């Protein structure tokens, strides 16, 4: 039973790593901020 839980946890960690890599890899500061989403300047 413990081995099954360990394997499921490892699969979850791998899934999270793949999702993180595809979303944020190559971006210097994470998410890209679009110009229309920036707060107005005063």
Model's pTM, two decimal places? 0.58
Q: What pLDDT was estimated at residue 8?
A: 98
Q: What pLDDT was estimated at residue 42?
A: 64
Give dist(CA 26, CA 32) in Å, integer: 11
Q: Taking a C-beta distance cutoff of 8 angstroms, is the pair 24, 30 a contact?
A: yes
Q: What pLDDT was estimated at residue 11?
A: 98
DSSP states along the chain = -HHHHHHHHHHHHHHHHHHHHHHHTT-TTSSPPPGGGSPPP-
Low-confidence ranges of the chain (pLDDT < 70): 27-33, 37-42
């Amino acid at each position: 039973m413990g081995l099954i839980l360990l394997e499921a946890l490892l699969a979850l960690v791998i899934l999270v790593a793949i999702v993180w890599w595809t979303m944020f890899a190559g971006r210097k500061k994470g998410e890209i901020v679009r110009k229309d989403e920036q707060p107005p300047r005063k």
